[in-house]
Chain A
Amino acid sequence: MLNFLQPWADHFPVLLVLIPLLGGVLAPIFGRGSRGWAWAVLTTGCATIIAIEMLLVVRSGGAISYPLGGWPAPFGIELRVDLLSAIVALVVTSVGWIVTIHSRRSVQVEIPRDRLGPFWSVWLLAITGLLGIIVTGDAFNMYVLLEISALTIYGLIAMGRSRDRKALVSAFNYLILGSIGASFILIAIGLLYAHTGTLNMSDLHQRLQASDGGATVMTARAFLLVGLSLKMALFPLHFWMPAAYSTAPSAVASLLSATATKVGIYMAMRFLYTVLPTEGGALTDPNVWLLGGCAGAAIFYGSIQASRQPSLSLLLAYSSVAQVGYIVLGLAVGHIDAMTGSILHLMFHALMKGGLFLCAGIFIYRLGSNDFTQLAGIGRRMPWTSAAVVLGGLGMIGVPGTSGFISKLHLLRGLLLADHPILAMLVLLGSAMAAIYTWKFVEIAYLKPVAEDAEEIREVPFDMLWPVWLLIGSSIWLGLNPAPVVELAADAARALLGGGG
């Protein structure tokens, strides 16, 4: 551990939320120029360092419990960081940091100048909400933080209006659906409280496990499943996502695809395995079939839709619908290998999709849009960006040597060992269809001739390129040296399936 952080070690969970919160509140002071951006980079950077240190602490010493304000759980609000939350926190902060570093230029182009100060403020507050969801151990607290992150995200999406006025409509639709989803989660938390009289998550789990369940818990479970599916954009409740991701400012789209959907999935893991009663650490059959069926359909539908979209942003957004399917598939069947694959895919997909959406943003920065008609022959005109898209696409397919291969391998093994051959077939089918939509980009970028009336364009500056290559490169590097990460994910999966954390 870094020495100067030693005295603060006990307070890591709360610092992880406080730092971006203070950063967000102070951001408007730094004005509209690059100083606001520098402040956001500094803040997210500090959060990343804390997340790394926190992961090391949890790895060596087990889960951290932090009683907020000194009130002991289950009466006060408890912050609780186990291995899974530490991993997701690291994913959110590190990818968020790299996306922030990248987006100095693209934000200046896409956001009106007078909104730049508030933009960085809202950006940091969104990260605050997401990190809060990850570290909290209190069900109602999680609802409030969910709404904090959601409200700021609606605002971030709507800031795409100066490029495309459709951003307003997609933000509005997302607001309606997101609020319904969050309200369902609120109802479920109320019902669970009515049944047990506690809001602390581990306390809830113990009491629910001891009680016979009954109608109240079953109703709560139904509300939770629908609300969480809306939040993580699981098919058939995904339709807000492609619209929102394709019209949001490009920096926001990469931040959301890498962090917000992942946090939704984290909430699902948390609620299904460490709050609601489980059957010996696994979900009961109806849950498995419901989630597995939706996830399978998501893989199929998302991959088909992705290959028929007219722009790179939409293609990536529909591919995210499919990738959410993979992750949910792994968490539904409840086999240790499948859960490991699910957690691995959560990490790797954040790296790959974050990087890919940054590339989509680079095309918007240079060409004004990333419609495929504009991208003809782009492989020769912007070689570094296009190569990054192709490498990221290979990761989506799961070609050996990329990290997508490692996560899908564990997922497949888990599905087969848990006796779900049909779902395993769907994973393979989805990978084949990912090859189709990746090839679509290759064909347009490298095989089509450049339009004759096209303007002269150059590759973007190095300071926009290196964050992309850092994300894509690290996803490849982790695919070649997977052992430590796999071990980490397996430990997290074991803690999750063992019940409690």
Chain B
Amino acid sequence: MTLLGLFNHWAFVIIMMVGLYAIIARNNLVKKILGLGLFQTGIFLMYITLGVRDGAAAPILQDDPAVIYANPLPHVLILTAIVVSVSTMAVALALAIGIRESYGTVEADEVAALDQQSQEVGC
């Protein structure tokens, strides 16, 4: 296998790492959620690549046994994972809205500072 033959794998790892970097480095909670979305999209690409075969057609039943077709199972699996990812994003955004309502900000460091303050007042 040549280096370029693994192009999709390189792409999925790079997309994932960009997402992971955004989760760690971004201060804004919504940007963190976007990073998480990017991270999971990288995984979708990996699963889609798993089903690919050279010169394969769409997996539709045909009479000709010589027709090779892409493996549909990883694609079906990733359809489920996409649904899961969308629901995760929805819950994450709902939590971000809640944080905005009770703290008045969606910046992680400001939220932490507000928590610190209320703790000092509490003691």
- Within A134-174, which residues are at the interface with B (CB < 8 Å)? 140, 143-144, 147, 151, 154-155, 158, 161, 165-166, 168-169, 171-172
Inter-chain contacts of B84 with A (CB < 8 A): 144, 147, 151
Q: Which residues of B contact A194 (CB under 8 A)?
A: 50
Q: Which residue of A lies closest to B103 (CB)?
A: A165
Which range holds the interface residue count of chain B? 20 to 34
Cα(A147)–Cα(B80), bound, Å: 11
Contact of B117 with A by CB under 8 A: no
Residue among A143, A172, A190 making CB contact with B99, cutoff 8 Å: A172
Chain A, interface size category, equals 20 to 34
Q: Is the CB of A158 within 8 A of B80?
A: no
A176 in contact with B36 (CB, 8 Å): yes
Q: Which residues of A contact B32 (CB under 8 A)?
A: 176
Q: Which of A404-456 contact B (CB under 8 A)?
A: none
Q: Which of A159-202 contact B (CB under 8 A)?
A: 161, 165-166, 168-169, 171-172, 175-176, 179-180, 183, 186-187, 190, 193-194
How far is A215 from B80 in the complex, measured between Cα atoms in Å?
27
Judge whether A151 and B91 touch: CB under 8 Å: yes
Scoring B29, B74, B81 by chain A CB atoms within 10 A of each residue's CB, the highest score goes to: B81
Partner of B95, one of A175, A179, A186: A175
Q: What residues of B have a CB within 8 angstroms of the CB of A140 in the complex?
A: 77, 80
| B87-112 interface bits toward A, Cβ cutoff 8 Å, 1 = contact, 0 = none | 11001100110110011000000010
Is B18 an interface position by the 8 A CB rule? no
Contacts of A158 in B (CB 8 A): 95, 98
Task: Give the residue name and chain of the A residue nearest to B89 (CB).
Answer: A179
Q: Whose C-beta in chain B lies nearest to the C-beta of A172?
A: B95
A123 CB → nearest B CB, Å: 16
Q: Give B62-79 as 1s and 0s: 1 = Cβ < 8 Å from A's Cβ atoms.
A: 000000000000100100
Please tell me if the beta carbons of A193 and B74 are within 8 angstroms of each other in the complex. Answer: yes
Bound Cα distance A158, B102 (Å) = 12
Q: Is the CB of B74 within 8 A of A190?
A: yes
A151-B87, A180-B23 known; A172 vs B29 contact (CB < 8 Å): yes
Which residues of A are interface residues toward B (Cβ below 8 A)?
140, 143-144, 147, 151, 154-155, 158, 161, 165-166, 168-169, 171-172, 175-176, 179-180, 183, 186-187, 190, 193-194
**Could you list 21 A-B pairs, sorted by A, with CB under 8 Å?**
A147-B87, A151-B87, A155-B91, A161-B98, A165-B102, A166-B115, A168-B95, A168-B102, A169-B99, A171-B95, A175-B88, A176-B23, A176-B32, A179-B40, A180-B20, A183-B43, A186-B81, A187-B43, A193-B50, A193-B74, A194-B50
Pairs A-B, 10 closest by C-beta atoms? A165-B102, A147-B84, A172-B95, A168-B98, A168-B99, A194-B50, A175-B92, A179-B88, A190-B47, A154-B91
Question: A175-B95, A193-B74 known; 7 other A-B pairs, CB under 8 Å?
Answer: A147-B87, A154-B95, A168-B99, A171-B95, A176-B23, A183-B40, A193-B50
